[in-house]
Structure 1
């Protein structure tokens, strides 16, 4: 499967997936200027879950069954989806959208780190540890590069802390998915998005005033986030995994940051410092080392939707 020839449609689906996930950071940055972070996520997920319910009815996708499956959905939907969405929305006004995209490249590193800690079958080889060190040095370079503008370092670091916690939530999805009982991928996605919607709505009701009015920019950005990076990307992702392979889809980890950087430069005229570019290439280099070690292992390591 891993070696089969990919056709043009496979690459087009992959490109659409990368664009949808990579463009999410631009849409978030626009939306939070018009909607509070908590209500943005709640509205985004309400629209996305409505699309998912209609899609599930059409395709006869089943809901999870029993407490054991729903318990996994509670974790994946709350801590692995809703909370990262919220944290990224809170961080978005304070960091370039390109930086948010770059931070998503740390997810495979965190999956590897958690695998070494929580999965007994994983081995902490010297090369794996080297890849982790290189990757986190790259993250440090990206953060340091943002602190060269005279701002208070604590203020500069806080949005990065939120992004790191958000990516940790995404990374734990991979570990929980490997530990949880087997179920169809679309059923897992269906249950996750429903739980995430409930979590985000409760959080918005409890902790943020309901918006009295929302501009068309706010509604359009929220609708874009809901329909494309959230619902459509989920459907495309699982379709592509079923049609090709998990390894083929993992290439999104390398391409999403590039899309985020390019779109940030075009739309917001964002510029990254040389040390931040160096950090990005360090992250990619570390990922290549890790993938070189892991490629001979016959297991599925699925990427997680980043935003």
Structure 2
């Protein structure tokens, strides 16, 4: 018989799950404030550098050494490109012209892309009716969020929204590729990918933005620090803990918990608002992602298999 976790312990893990969703949901507001006076490339370069340094310090404190073979660092670099360099750049670019709440909604579609890739490319997951429903609901919600008005003319807002969807697609790819890091402490590939991301982004920042000439506001600097420390480094630590205590299925609940949180943070702190169709789209996205990530109930026949 499987032991049932005691209520105080389980309640603590659920609180951590809510905290993780809050940290990742708030990231879109931090980015929105940061890019007001810090160019996107410099913002994400600093984000990966600070977060990577913190994660390395935590690994050192835990007595865990990073791998030394070049092949593994090559995999870290690929993971960095699809999980931080490209999507971070797309999100930071997009939030120069879009609201943080809108970014949170569109970015939550990454499980949809992960499912489509696994169903039609890697084919290591069973295609169920519920998952197909989730894909349809999520895509419909994305269309409603972007709005049919985008079809009348392609402008800056449309391209920004498309960039957010492309970033979600990158996260979907990275979720599949990231499964190949089995056997490593979960914090190791996180730290490795952040350091590799910084290796790419810091030189790019120096060449493109000349950060020594910038005069960022106090709010942007504080947003950058909060993004790096809370929404990246600490969020990863909480996520790795939840993988051990709640399992991978339980930990993925943050994927749809962070959507309403991200929207609420933007509304409360930035005074943002959503259109009626965007609210409907938000509901569709949450339903779609939940349909694809909530665990299936084990039927009696399945249990006997």
User: Would the aligned equivalents of 2:119 and 2:127 in 1 still touch at CA under 8 Å?
Assistant: yes
| Partners of 1:86 and 1:24 in 2: CA distance | 14
Offset of residue 293 of structure 1: 7.4
TM-score, with normalisation over the residues of structure 1? 0.88
| Partners of 2:204 and 2:272 in 1: CA distance | 32
Q: Which residue of structure 1 aligns with residue 172 of structure 2?
A: 171
Offset of residue 295 of structure 1: 5.8
With over 3 angstroms needed to count, the CA separation of the structure-2 counterparts of 1:134 and 1:250, relative to structure 1, is same
1:1-307 matches, within 5 Å, as 4=5, 7-144=10-147, 147=150, 152-180=153-181, 182-212=183-213, 213-291=215-293
Secondary structure of 1:271's counterpart equals coil
| Partners of 1:270 and 1:257 in 2: CA distance | 14
| Partners of 1:67 and 1:179 in 2: CA distance | 16
Q: 95-104 or 280-289, which moves further after superposition? A: 280-289
| Partners of 1:292 and 1:193 in 2: CA distance | 29
User: Would the aligned equivalents of 1:146 and 1:156 in 2 still touch at CA under 8 Å?
Assistant: no
Offset of residue 259 of structure 1: 0.8
Offset of residue 130 of structure 1: 3.2
Secondary structure of 1:62's counterpart equals coil
User: Would the aligned equivalents of 2:29 and 2:265 in 1 still touch at CA under 8 Å?
Assistant: yes
| Partners of 2:166 and 2:210 in 1: CA distance | 24
With over 3 angstroms needed to count, the CA separation of the structure-2 counterparts of 1:2 and 1:232, relative to structure 1, is farther
- Gaps of at least 5 residues in structure 1 are 298-307
Q: Deviations over 1:240-273 (max 9, x none)?
A: 2112211111110111111111111111211111
RMSD of aligned alpha carbons? 2.4
